[in-house]
């Protein structure tokens, strides 16, 4: 199953014009909303911490093995133009075909909910470290302008909607079905012989990532067409729902 590095902004000095808090605070709210969608879709993640910086986040990600790096930010207009700009920009590194594709998918999904869809764009960058220095394909998405009242209030009222669209883009990027989150529940593997396969995709053709013995305890995060998204030990994957009791 894919694993991403999730990097909400650590810029506590950028304050929202609405008084709701900083960019760091609000992007962590968005990350909080995104996590249930990641779990329900079998996407594992590691998340940075507010005491980190963009640089230390990239270094931590590069020290591990991740399939994608997602940086969550909100934007600010240049000095002299505060409050005048609106829009969403998904940045990617030039020459990274996977980064570009992910940026385009993110922009496509966010256009469906942003009130000014023509202002949702993608853009190459060599100056943003979270994109240019990432070992994994990376996108830094600037979601609205925190110094624009209309954008800031839209953000504050749509964390779950934004998280859902980001998750839809990620599942398309990884070739997975989109699954709505459910309240996680415990389950027990029930097979009369052998083991239950935990697979990378909800199909008998999906690669086997683990074998779960009878009586094994799992946590179920989602359900799709007779398959559960389950967490078992160090693994997350899909298992046939008929063989798991809840």
Residues 117 and 225 in one domain: no
Indicate whether 179 belongs to any domain: no
Q: What is the pLDDT of residue 172?
A: 98
Alpha carbon distance 7, 57 (integer Å): 7
For residue 95, CA distances in Å to 60, 105, 142, 217, 241 come to: 23, 17, 20, 44, 42
* The domain boundary residue, chosen from 113, 143, 174: 174
Q: Which residues of the chain have pLDDT under 70?
A: none
Residues 150 and 211 in one domain: no
Indicate whether 52 belongs to any domain: yes
Alpha carbon distance 143, 135 (integer Å): 23
Q: Report the domain count for the chain.
A: 2
Parent domain of 191:
185-245
Alpha carbon distance 177, 180 (integer Å): 10
| Predicted model pTM | 0.95
Indicate whether 105 belongs to any domain: yes
Q: What is the pLDDT of residue 1?
A: 84
């Amino acid at each position: 199953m894919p694993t991403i590095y999730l990097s909400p902004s650590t810029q506590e000095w950028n304050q929202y014009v609405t008084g709701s808090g900083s960019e760091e605070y609000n992007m962590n709210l968005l990350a909080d909303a995104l996590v249930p969608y990641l779990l329900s879709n079998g996407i594992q993640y590691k998340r940075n911490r507010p005491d980190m910086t963009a640089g230390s986040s990239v270094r931590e990600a590069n020290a591990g093995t991740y399939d994608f790096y997602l940086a969550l930010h909100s934007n600010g207009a240049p000095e002299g133009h505060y409050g005048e700009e609106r829009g969403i920009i998904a940045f990617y590194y030039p020459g990274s075909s996977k980064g570009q594709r992910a940026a385009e998918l993110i922009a496509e999904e966010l256009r469906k909910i942003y009130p000014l869809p023509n202002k949702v764009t993608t853009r190459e960058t060599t100056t943003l470290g979270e994109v240019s220095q990432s070992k994994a394909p990376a996108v830094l998405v600037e979601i609205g302008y925190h110094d624009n009242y209309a954008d800031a209030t839209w953000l504050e009222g749509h964390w779950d909607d934004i998280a859902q669209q980001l998750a839809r883009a990620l599942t398309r990027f990884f070739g997975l079905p989109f699954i709505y989150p459910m309240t996680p529940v415990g389950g027990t593997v029930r097979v009369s012989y052998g083991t239950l396969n935990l697979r990378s995709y909800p199909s008998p053709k999906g690669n086997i990532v683990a074998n779960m013995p009878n009586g094994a305890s799992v946590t179920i995060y989602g359900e799709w067409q007779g398959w559960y998204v389950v967490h078992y030990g160090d693994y997350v994957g899909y298992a046939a729902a008929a063989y798991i009791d809840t």
